[in-house]
Amino acid sequence: MQIDAIHKALANPMRRQILGWLKEPHVHFAHQEHNLDVGVCAGLIDAQTGLAQSTVSAHLAALQRAGLITSRKVGQWIYYKRNEEAIKAFLDHMNEGL
């Protein structure tokens, strides 16, 4: 687990917001055509943020480098979902360490 990378990723409010949306994809991305079990399409995350695609890509890359989300390519689309195992391990670490 990369504690410093996780802290850096979580320091940005938009990244925390994205993680929040991905926690409940059926609420925030219910209009997605593909099954949400695969993850949420990057394009829908872009649209939800209202930011430039390149900015959202940088946010998603930071979350992925920290291990907080995973990606899966299906055809030409990339789908993202939370890495619940890593998030739980980080929270457990924080609860034990502080």
User: Per DSSP, what are the bridge partners of residue 72?
Assistant: 79
What is the model's pTM? Answer: 0.90
Mean pLDDT by 10 residues, the chain (98 residues): 91 97 93 86 94 95 96 93 96 87
* H or E element that contains 41: strand 40-41
With H, G, I as helix, E, B as strand and everything else as coil, classify residue 69. Answer: strand
Contact 1, 90 (CB under 8 A): yes
Question: Please, what is the angle between helix 3-10 and helix 53-65, to 10°?
Answer: 150
What pLDDT, on the 0 to 100 scale, is given for residue 30? 85
Architecture of domain 3-96: Orthogonal Bundle (1.10)
**Per-residue pLDDT reduced to its tens digit, 12-35:** 999 999 999 999 999 999 888 888
- According to the model, what pLDDT value does residue 95 have? 92
